[in-house]
Amino acid sequence: MFLQKRLHQAEQLDNFEWSGPALRRTLKELQRINYLFGNVRTLSGAVMGTIESLQLSPVKIIDLGCGSGDVLAAIARKAGQKGIAVELLGIDGNANSLAFGQACWSAYPDLQFLVADIMSDTFVLPPCDILISSHFLYHFPDEELVAFLNKHLQTVSHAAIFSELDRHFLALHLFKFVSLLLGFSPITRQDGQTAVRRAFRQEELAQIVEHLAFTNSRLQYKWAFRHLLSIYK
């Protein structure tokens, strides 16, 4: 059961000027959501698996639209446990979100942040070994996403790994129930529902992959209502 058409509507988090207690509360709640619904585990696990299979150390990883950087913090923690040298860079358009992330993850000196408008035509992706993002690809219309990936994957040495929501009826109502049960703010509840409605279905992502210049890819379905798209160079 799917929501038939993608919603093209901005979220409150897309406002780069947003700041203050409401933003910090939302970021904290999103950290809980990312943990509870498997995003941190799925994405960080896939990244560590790629690092180990390719025997990359040191390795530079960039997270696009990183928010408060909780996925990068999980990677830093796992890499530290395995003795893998990492250089982690989170890029986001909201300097206030990144300041919150710096305060949260100050124990990880290898985790740095950069303020940039990723969707701007002037954005230049720094060179990296692995590019990641979560809940970011749905910000683009299909054609613009293909162009964005074909352009920026040129500077990625080994792999790009993206964790994306599934635009599923049950995902929407599961989020409504859990976010209300946990007492999340109205902003978090609204943004979460908007995110599900903006997301791709699996066949839509598969069609986008067909138009990429990089053909070595894998699209997997993960718990809960999540797509994991891995593109290898």
Q: Is the pTM of this model over 0.75?
A: yes
* Complete domains list, the chain, with CATH: 14-232 (3.40.50.150)
3-state secondary structure (DSSP) of residue 157: strand
pLDDT at 1: 54
3-state secondary structure of 122: coil
* pLDDT for residue 215: 87
pLDDT value at residue 2: 61
Question: Distance (Å, rounded) from C-alpha 132 to C-alpha 71?
Answer: 9
The two tokens of residue 99 are: 């300041």
pLDDT digits (tens, 9 = 90+) for 101-130: 999 999 999 999 999 999 999 999 999 999
pLDDT at 3: 87
Q: Is the dihedral of CA 66, 31, 141, 186 positive or negative?
A: negative
Task: Copy the structure tokens of residue 9.
Answer: 């509507």
At 195, the amino acid letter reads A
Closest CA to 134 of 9, 3, 33: 33
DSSP conformation class of 223: T
Residue type, 191: D
Task: Identify the segments of the chain with pLDDT beneath 70.
Answer: 1-2
* Residue 15 DSSP SS3: coil
